[in-house]
Structure 1
């Protein structure tokens, strides 16, 4: 009976319409013709900006400037669980798969302005926004072809477009005031549909 059980680690790439091309990992467990699987893909994009402005005049110090610093980051993670069934085809097996993708998106951005003088810098004002989505569930379909020598090829597709609800907060800090507020909004019509191709070895 031990030969009825199989394990199939997989690696490949995923093309997400919104997030670009990223690495993909997966693992399948099989019993006879039934398959249970899991796959993961994700991406993190970071960007930063820094700019010096003209010398401040008049000032009690020489060489006093203002500097603005900004940053942006988004982090996307998608986990997929699915089931499948394989049929004998040619010198191997063709599997049909279906399941669900669970994804989450986190975003944050901020900007700060400093007075830069000999010996250090002083914060003038800053602002930041951070937000994240609830876990979004979308359908996944896929096919796989398993050769008798263990090598296999898999193509999965997640249908994932429409609005995405985001919740978060915004904060501000200045010389004489500070504040914080909650945010509720949407990312409209952003398409996170994903095409994933993986190669595995089943043993």
Structure 2
């Protein structure tokens, strides 16, 4: 059996990098299942994610076919690692506070597997006290982080908040798995 990762793609401009992340893992022989949040689908499509991963892309907590088999539980248990890339301020806040109102946040709450997050957001959002408190809460619960990097952002600002590059995230994920 090959290594399996569940990739949660949340909604931010950095979501386009998740496509290259899937390709990077596939090149390394890693199986990738994907969940897209509603906001993620504004940046990448389920069809492109499915084409690259070779598997169905999941996006609906209330899918009758997926949920008859408790899809949110099965998705979180069939993977050896959950990676959230990009990890927006929103999904980090949901995870820190145990909120689960969609498939992605429900899968995060239902897992007993290691979680790696790759934050991506505007520098002011990243530096906000609420985000920093959520980061500390998540770290205290054993969630690992890669990035964010510092650099120019889509909004034209410069600073920390850029999602780490796909190769860096892929390597960080494999390092978590090899612990």
Same fold (TM over 0.5): no
Larger radius of gyration: 1
Output the TM-score relative to the length of structure 2: 0.24
Structure with bigger helix share is: 2
> In proportion to residue count, which structure has more strand?
1
- TM-score, normalized by length of structure 1? 0.22
